[in-house]
A and B are shown apart, each in its own frame.
Chain A
Amino acid sequence: MFFGELLASSLRMAVPILLTALGAVFTERSGVVNIGLEGMMIVGSFWGALGAYYYGPYFGLLLAMAAGMFMALIHAINTVTFRVDQVVSGVAINILAYGSTRFLSLAIFNMATTSPHVSGLPKINIPVLSGIEFLKPLVTDVSPVIILALVLVPISSFVINRTVFGLRLRSVGENPLAADTLGINVFKMKYAGVLLSGILSGLSGAYLALEHTGMYVEGMTQGQGFIALAAMIFGNWEPKGVLWASLLFGFSEALSFRVVEGGVVPYQFVKMIPYVLTLLVLTGVVKKSTGPAASGVPYERGLK
């Protein structure tokens, strides 16, 4: 029972990181670094709550994805069309997200830092499996978004590795000049990669607000957009690797919740578990990770 609970908790903590990290894979594979994922999660959490408050959870999720996509569009215009430094634009996105949500929260809810309570999607009990005692915590009262996130892993993997779109996306991230000479629209592919990351980050933010907490709270993303970037590197820019990396982050968080008792281990050490575990795995287990060759470099026609 304890182990089942631990896994269920890990999964709940892993899903926001997983969704955002999948987005990060798409944008980086197209050669655009996106530091603004955190900001896109923030707008996702706010607009998700806003949409759900007025028109229900489905609308909330859609609105969150649209809001994330809008922020990603700004990032794409900045970095792809105008070739602004990608890190600078990403930082600007984060500030814009923070300021705009607070401003709108005050204007719409008349509260600076929280929304009213909202309800999420109906929870799912997976039949058959919920009969097994060991798995019970994992398969009862599951948020549909968790299942969606897990399903998105093989789908993303397939899209990136086995479709024409994926091949073009990767080629643009590795060598845009070569891709361009072969007739691939580099700019379009980069836009697609960035927008996909915005949609997924928005969904991830909405998961936090709607599915997990039932309320938008300013700063509830707690830097998970940046952890997602780490998970992406950790997962070697591959959706399947990202899944394991996110689960590891989620697991270590969930574990740290459970070691507090007794007072044998000093409190600060318990809070270090996720980071220590990450370091250990990074240094010991992961083999060399290499990103797309042209990631972070703005592409300009006619320049070598």
Chain B
Amino acid sequence: MNGRKILAIALVLVLMAAVLAGCSGNKGQQQQNQQGQQPSGEEKLKVGLVFDVGGRGDLSFNDSAYAGLERAAKDFADKIEVEYREPSAGGQDREQLLRLLAENGFDLIFGVGFLFTEHIQKVSQEFPDVKFALIDGAIDGLDENSNVACLLFKEHEGSFLVGAAAAMKSKTGKIGFVGGMKSPLIERFEVGYMAGAKYVNPNIEIYSDYIGTTGDAFKDPVKGKELALNQFKKGADVVYHASGASGVGVIEAAAAEKKFAIGVDSDQSLSATEEQRPYILTSMLKRVDVAVYETIKSMVEGNFKGGYKVFGLAEDGVGYAENDYNKELIADIKPKLEEIKEKIIKGEIKVPVDKTEYNEFLKSNFK
């Protein structure tokens, strides 16, 4: 009897070991440059990138970072070699992966996502000769000579544009917003969107909901759909989401109700189905790929600067998506959107970043 018990426990352990090996095992795929194998006299720059949980194939954030890395690898084929790593399912090994790359002589290392903030802060101090780039996160007290560059985005500016687009396209005078995790980052999307909508139509009514208060809120399409359905039923005819993979549900709800959804981060018309595409008005683009590419470029050109780099409309770091599917749909509002874009870049419109600034924005624009 005892023998069987041991056998059973062994069986469970083997199963679990197999699972763990499956998720955290050798994910460190290498991507060496095939072109330009001949070393051009001098040594190549080594660029490493660690994805956030979700990894490559998430159709938005991580994939965008990967696109930038890929483009840089192609453009500077004879100057750099790139490699990337995916953390385990829970992301516990983020710091180890960063350290591993640093120890292996990488010159520039990216951490994709604000969850890397603490780890990069720590590892960057241990390796003062290695340059680090942190996407979406800010470490205090950096300057030009630091070995860390924080790549930040003005999500509120891009959201302002799609908010204006939503208000111009709305026939009912009601629009909606579905956020993922209630946090200052996502609230930036929300207030930008609301300000943009109010800018073109002061009387517009805006419904705003969040899915939850934890990271799980970014992968709950079931609730995303229910919240969007609720807003549509109340009369909204355009709903913008900033909720990661939960947004799948928002787009699904728009297609079911034959109303409009607005995507986020990447151009979501491209990843949607044929039936959903007519119902995606546009997407708020957050060009993580541009940020990654530009940082690698500055490294190649030898003028990498530490500190904070902010990508807004002026730097083409954020924007709205135009593609073959929505071209005609937004043709009538495009001139106005471009005009607003110009005004934001020139500083004539100051886009609010939080609720306080939003209230001031309303006061100063409409008395």
Contact = CB atoms under 8 A, between A and B. Distances in A.
Given A9-B226, A103-B22, A220 B11 contact: no
A109 interface: yes
Interface stretch (A89-97, A168-176, A281-289): A89-97
**B interface, by DSSP: helix, strand, loop or mixed?**
helix
Nearest to A137: B233
Contacts of B213: 268, 271
Interface stretch (B30-38, B54-62, B104-112): B54-62
Contact of B212 (A110, A212, A258, A271): A271
B87 to A, nearest CB: 11
A240 interface: no
B219 A213 contact: no
B14 to A, nearest CB: 10
A106 B233 contact: no
B216 A114 contact: no
B314 interface: no
Given A13-B222, A217-B245, 7 more contacts: A12-B226, A84-B12, A114-B245, A208-B222, A222-B222, A222-B223, A271-B212
Contacts of A99: 18-20, 22-23, 89
Interface stretch (B2-10, B143-151, B344-352): B2-10
Nearest to A4: B233
Interface residues of A, number: 50
Contacts, number: 136
A9 B23 contact: no
A212 B226 CA distance: 9
B207 A78 contact: no
A96 B7 CA distance: 18
A103 B23 contact: yes
Contacts of B208: 260
A59 interface: no
A220 B226 contact: no
A83 B222 contact: no
Interface in B217-266: 219-223, 225-227, 229-230, 233, 245-246, 248-249, 252, 256
A156 to B, nearest CB: 24
> Chain A interface secondary structure, helix, strand, loop or mixed?
helix
Given A92-B16, A111-B57, A113-B54, A82 B222 contact: no
10 closest cross-chain pairs (CB), A and B: A111-B57, A82-B8, A99-B19, A103-B22, A117-B273, A213-B221, A112-B55, A219-B219, A217-B245, A99-B23
B8 A113 contact: no
Given A83-B5, A84-B9, A261-B207, A220 B23 contact: no
A264 B175 CA distance: 20
B221 A217 contact: yes
B60 to A, nearest CB: 10
A106 B225 contact: no
Contact of A82 (B4, B57, B219): B4
Contacts of A5: 230, 233
A267 interface: yes
A12 B227 CA distance: 12
Given A102-B23, A113-B55, A257-B230, A82 B249 contact: no
Interface string A51-76: 00000000000000000000000100
B12 A88 contact: yes
Contacts of A89: 12
B333 interface: no
A254 interface: yes
A212 B223 CA distance: 10
Nearest to A258: B230
A141 B57 CA distance: 32
B25 to A, nearest CB: 9
Nearest to A117: B273
Contacts of A117: 272-273, 276
B182 interface: yes
Interface in B186-222: 207-210, 212-213, 216, 219-222
Interface string A3-22: 00100010011000000000
Contact of B57 (A100, A109, A219, A268): A109
